[in-house]
């Protein structure tokens, strides 16, 4: 069984039996107790991530005035959809890498090029910022 599949099995086990012990997981998964705890930790992280995603999706839906009507609310200021493709927001990546203004914009424009509408324009903007960064290094 692949490692990812093992984490899913343990996540399902934790959802079904929240008080399951490491020893029980080790027995069920036929692995060492230490590895069972690793699987449980990864499964809990996966469950938390899933719950956060569900919460985010639920916050993005606004029940309309008509019975059964649902409007999808898009937050283009704080969390634009074209910045969240791939599961991480571009700003989080830029900040994690401590990129300069110019290089941050390069990443931003490249990341959204396929998702915003005008790919060529975004790639040209990325090149413009990259050229500025290169000029600053020279």
For the segment 11-28, what is each residue's pLDDT rounded down to a tens digit? 888 878 888 888 998 998
Sequence-ordered list of residues with C-beta below 8 angstroms from that of 17, at least 6 positions apart, any chain: 24
Q: Which domain holds residue 122?
A: 81-137
Q: Are residues 85 and 54 in the same domain?
A: no
In a domain, 73, yes or no: no
Query: Residues of 17-41 as b/e, b for ≥16 C-beta within 10 angstroms?
Result: eeebebeebbeebeeeeebbebbbe
7: in domain: yes
Q: What is the pLDDT of residues 34-80, one digit of tens each?
A: 888 888 888 888 877 777 766 666 666 555 545 555 555 566 666 66
Question: What is the count of structural domains for the chain?
Answer: 2
Domain match, 45 and 91 both: no
Decide if 71 is inside a domain: no
Tell me how crowded residue 112 is: count the other CB atoms within 10 A of its CB.
21
């Amino acid at each position: 069984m692949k490692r990812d599949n093992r984490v899913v099995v343990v996540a399902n086990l934790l959802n079904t039996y929240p008080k399951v012990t490491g020893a029980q997981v080790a027995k069920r998964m036929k692995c060492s107790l230490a590895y069972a705890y690793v699987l449980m930790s990864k499964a809990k992280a996966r469950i938390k991530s899933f719950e956060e995603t569900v919460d985010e999706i639920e916050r993005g839906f606004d029940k309309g005035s008509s019975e059964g009507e649902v409007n999808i609310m898009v937050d283009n200021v704080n969390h634009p959809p074209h910045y969240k493709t791939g599961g991480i927001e571009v700003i989080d990546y830029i900040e994690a890498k401590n990129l300069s203004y110019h290089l941050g914009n390069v990443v931003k424009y490249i990341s959204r090029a396929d998702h915003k509408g005008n790919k060529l324009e975004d790639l040209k903007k990325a090149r413009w910022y990259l050229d500025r960064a290169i000029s600053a290094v020279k």
